[in-house]
Amino acid sequence: MGKKSWNWIVAAALAVALAGCSAGPAAPATPAEEDASGFVSLAQAAPDVILEIRYYSTYNFVGDRIDGYEQPCALMTRQAAAALEEASQDAQARGYRLKVYDAYRPSTAVDHFVRWAEDVEDTRMKAYFYPELDKSVLFDQGYIAERSGHSRGSTVDLTLFDMATGKEADMGGTFDYFGERSHPDYTQDLTPEQLENRNTLREIMVENGFQPLDTEWWHFTLADEPYPDTYFAFPVSEDSVPAA
Ligand SMILES: [Zn+2]
């Protein structure tokens, strides 16, 4: 028997094995990338949260509206949104509101970031978001990646809005700044107040089931996220999720 025939037999056996896997009654229910049925809008699920959706606007590190952001709204998995509502209540008890910059991020948006990062000539927003870095290092240093945990729907980028001053709490750094001062444990030239504000945000989120990230003070993921292996692609729009 020739090599080609063997290849065909192996391929056919594999196809049968794979078909068996997906058709079996014990197969886990893996949601399709376009299936938003487990998601809700934060406007419904956590109505006191302030939204400033940067990737819908042009004030972000790319300088354009990002692919997949059709409305300035925030979507999350039902479980993450419920935990965020609890965090929102805690924040209010301490005199703050939560202010969300981004939540669920479609994989189409991440593809847009990757395209932008490959175009090293486009440095329109450098002065605001990466003044210390050459754009060519963004992949190697982990600032831009092919996939984002945000696409799994249980991750949120946010800060505290101080109800007493009517301003964002001073975190000693800004959302999406590519540099070491975005690390939550960066202390070099932060004031005690800035450190305390970072700690307060972290405390509120961790107490309500979220895990922090060691490179971005604003980024938190629900520890017990419901879709740890699925990267969704449906657009950010109230029309994507089931009506409340
Ligand atoms: Zn994030």
Q: How far is the CA of 175 from the centre of ligand 1 (A)?
A: 9
**pLDDT per position as a tens digit, 133-150:** 999 998 888 888 899 999
pLDDT (tens digit per residue) in 40-91: 999 999 999 999 999 999 999 999 999 999 999 999 999 999 999 999 999 9
Identify the H or E element spanning 10: helix 3-23
pTM comes to: 0.87
What span, in angstroms and rounded, lies between the C-alpha atoms of 92 and 224? 24
pLDDT of residue 142: 86
Burial 45-57 (b: 16+ CB within 10 A, else e): bbeebebbbbbbe
pLDDT tops 90 at residue 183: yes
What is the CA(214)–ligand 1 centre distance, in A?
A: 11
**Architecture per CATH, 37-240:** 2-Layer Sandwich (3.30)
Q: What percent of the chain has pLDDT over 90?
A: 82
Domain ranges for the chain: 1-30, 37-240
Strand-pair category, 50-51 with 39-41? unpaired
The C-alpha torsion from 108 through 112 and 118 to 122, rounded to 10°, is 180
Alpha-carbon gap, residue 102 to 100, rounded angstroms? 6
30 band by pLDDT with thresholds 50, 70 and 90: low
- Interhelix angle 78-93/192-207, nearest 10 degrees: 130
CA distance 212 to 206: 7
pLDDT of 21 strictly over 80:
no
Integer-rounded Cα radius of gyration of the chain: 21
End-to-end CA distance of the chain: 61
- Separation between Cα atoms, residue 17 and residue 106, nearest integer Å: 31
- Please give the distance, rounded to the nearest whole angstrom, from the Cα atom of residue 225 to the centre of ligand 1: 15
- The predicted-structure confidence for 97-129, as pLDDT tens digits, reads as follows 999 999 999 999 999 999 999 999 999 999 999
Q: How far apart are CA 104 and CA 107, in angstroms?
A: 10
The Å distance, Cα 215 to ligand 1 centre, comes to 10
Tell me how far apart the 2 most distant CA atoms of the chain are, in Å. Answer: 81
Catalytic sites, residue numbers: 216
Q: If pLDDT is split at 50, 70 and 90, which confidence band does 175 have?
A: very high
- What local confidence, expressed as pLDDT, does residue 1 receive? 42
Q: Please give the mean pLDDT across all residues of the chain.
A: 90
Q: Would you state the structure tokens that stand for residue 191, as one six-digit string?
A: 């004031």
pLDDT digits (tens, 9 = 90+) for 200-212: 999 999 999 999 9
Residue 9 clears pLDDT 70, i.e. is over it? no
Output DSSP code: residue 29. -
